[in-house]
Amino acid sequence: MNFDLLSYASSRTASGNVKIRRPTENSPLVPDEDADGAISNQCSGDEYHLCNEWGNRNYGKAPDFNIQNQSDVGDLPCFANYYITFPISDVLRNKVIITAKLSLYQFGNSGGPGEAICSWIQVLTTQEDLQENSITWNNAPLAFKNFDGSWVKTLPEHHGFPGIERKWDVSYAIAKAHLLSQSSRLVLYSADSDYHSAKYFISSNTGDWNVAGRPRLDIRWGEF
């Protein structure tokens, strides 16, 4: 695991931009998965589920996901990391990355009034491919390097869809993946220690009625 928040800057002049997100609900592009405290089965309190099922469950088709961590290991079923892969090599062939921003759309959080807190959510990379329909807590790729973090505020009420946009600067990570002609494999992890720290977002698998809420990568590029 490598810890070093490297900055990225390009001296090239931006000459274009591209937005990358899953175009349709059934498309295989931009796979993502919540490992493993999914919203649909979060903190269930079922001991059999915790000991025999939790670590091997896959939520690759869920329309939403949770990012959460806390210091009480007794609440392990609440823990959740988020994995997403963006194809960039074909889209940006013979281009130079100027900036890249990851956008996720938040629609809620755990905890009652006065219980929820803001979260410091970090974005990291992994060196392994994401298998959307088979990834679990137990077999999820290990994080390799951290690149950015951002505070995600609580939502005292639902603001409707697509949700509230939250952004991370992933310019360095995208530029590195582009240089190696690879897809960009990202992991998002919460550094919280408090209870009620879960943050709920829209996934790539949401219905086509909510295309605007799907995770999105905004890239500004220049010419070689």
In terms of average pLDDT, the best of 20-24, 80-84, 193-197 is: 20-24
Residue 153 belongs to a domain: yes
Residue 177 belongs to a domain: yes
Residue 4 belongs to a domain: no
Which has more pLDDT, 112 or 96? 96
CA dihedral 101, 70, 164, 26 (to 10 degrees): 70
Residue 94 belongs to a domain: yes
CA-to-CA dists, residue 199 to 14, 45, 125, 137, angstroms: 34, 19, 20, 18
- The pLDDT, as a whole number, for residue 44 is 62
Residue 171 belongs to a domain: yes
Phi (first) and psi of residue 49, to 5 degrees: -60, -45
pTM of the model: 0.91
How many domains, in total, are found in the chain? 1
Residue 6 belongs to a domain: no
Residue 8 belongs to a domain: no
Nearest CA to 167 out of 92, 80, 106 is that of 106
Q: What is the pLDDT of residues 103-135, one digit of tens each?
A: 999 999 988 777 888 999 999 999 888 888 888
Q: What is the pLDDT of residues 30-49, one digit of tens each?
A: 999 988 767 776 666 677 87
Residue 50 belongs to a domain: yes
Share above pLDDT 90 across residues of the chain, in percent, rounded to a whole number: 44
CA-to-CA dists, residue 185 to 14, 67, 168, angstroms: 24, 17, 14
126: containing domain: 16-223
Q: Return d(Cα 81, Cα 50) in angstroms, integer.
A: 17
